[in-house]
Amino acid sequence: MMLLGDQRDVAAAANGFPDVAAARDKVRGMSWTRGEGLRAEHRERLIAAGLAPEVLVGLELSEITGPLPEWWHEGGNAIYVRDGFPLAERLIELLGFYPFSDALIVVATDITSMQALLVGGDSPTIFIGPDTSMVWGEVYCGGGSAVILSGGLVATSRAQIDARNGGSIVAVGDQLWAANVYVATDDMHRLEDGETGERINPYGAHIRFGEHVWLGRDAIVTGNVEVGDGAVVGMRAMVRNQKIEPRTAVAGVPARLIRENVVWSGDDTP
């Protein structure tokens, strides 16, 4: 009889997703050289990007010093991993395909099940906090941009996170994101007014999720967005250049208010 975990891995391979079991086996055999803990300047950079200082309290991190591409240290890049946690060789191979400089990446959870962790330019800042799970998920951070996932984020399957052009995506703790959620600061292409030539779509936008936010399946969040504490974004809704008030439920395209004063729980109880 094929076990559930085996079925998942077979399905993943058939759809071009990473074989989670094989990835973990490969990581166990990889010998990373670990150096000192988080430097003061890197701590301040994370906080400036939107990470709450208390998230770093008691978090034991060590810088990975090798094996890494030859250009890695020359460019002033740094990647830290939480002590006792693996780092997927497959993800680092993808990450280092194109040279960049001044990258700060902090991984405080097991990301071996992720599809990709990518950088597109100099000076990106990435923090993937404790108890974060992004099965088959993708994180892309462009030059001068930031992705701050504070921790306690569960993205059930294939979440895509994309910050670019100096934009930022910050998620406070306790997030539940259903399958195929797409969060992006920009559209990746210019859209302008035909008469004035003025750009009319977001460029380097900023997205912030408050605490305890639930995003429904296939939800899209893009542009300058603020989602308040305890908010719920419905299945296939699009939140674009909007502010979602705390403890409200929104749905539709574009998202509109459907209910106020909601309280949601991860438990499926009567």
Mean pLDDT of all residues belonging to the chain: 90
Which residues are 256's β-sheet partners?
A: 251
pLDDT class for 3, splitting at 50, 70, 90?
very low
pLDDT of residue 182: 99
Which of 58-62, 87-91, 254-258, 263-267 bottoms out in mean pLDDT, i.e. has the lowest? 87-91
Which of 17-21, 22-26, 228-232, 251-255 bottoms out in mean pLDDT, i.e. has the lowest? 22-26
State how far the Cα of 21 lies from the Cα of 207, in Å rounded to an integer: 33
**Eight-class DSSP state of 73:** H
For residue range 192-203, list pLDDT tens digits in order. 999 999 999 999
b/e burial code for range 72-84 (CB count within 10 A of at least 16 → b): beeeebbbbbbee
Cβ count near 88 (within 10 Å) = 22
pLDDT mean over 77-96: 92
Q: Which domains are delineated in the chain?
A: 21-172 (no CATH), 174-270 (2.160.10.10)
pLDDT class for 30, splitting at 50, 70, 90?
low
For residue range 89-148, list pLDDT tens digits in order. 899 989 988 899 999 999 999 999 999 999 999 999 999 999 999 999 999 999 999 999
Q: In terms of C-beta density within 10 A (0-12 exposed, 13-18 middle, 19 or more buried), how is residue 200 classed?
A: exposed
pLDDT class for 26, splitting at 50, 70, 90?
very low
Residues 6+ apart with CB under 8 A from 113: 18, 20, 23, 133, 134, 135, 136, 137
State how far the Cα of 180 lies from the Cα of 157, in Å rounded to an integer: 6
pTM (predicted TM-score): 0.88
Q: Taking 60 as the threshold, does the pLDDT of residue 12 lie above it? A: no
Q: Taking 60 as the threshold, does the pLDDT of residue 20 lie above it? A: no
pLDDT of residue 11: 40
State how far the Cα of 106 lies from the Cα of 50, in Å rounded to an integer: 14
Q: Taking 70 as the threshold, does the pLDDT of residue 2 lie above it? A: no
Which of 14-18, 56-60, 104-108, 226-230 bottoms out in mean pLDDT, i.e. has the lowest? 14-18
For residue range 205-264, list pLDDT tens digits in order. 999 999 999 999 999 999 999 999 999 999 999 999 999 999 999 999 999 999 999 999
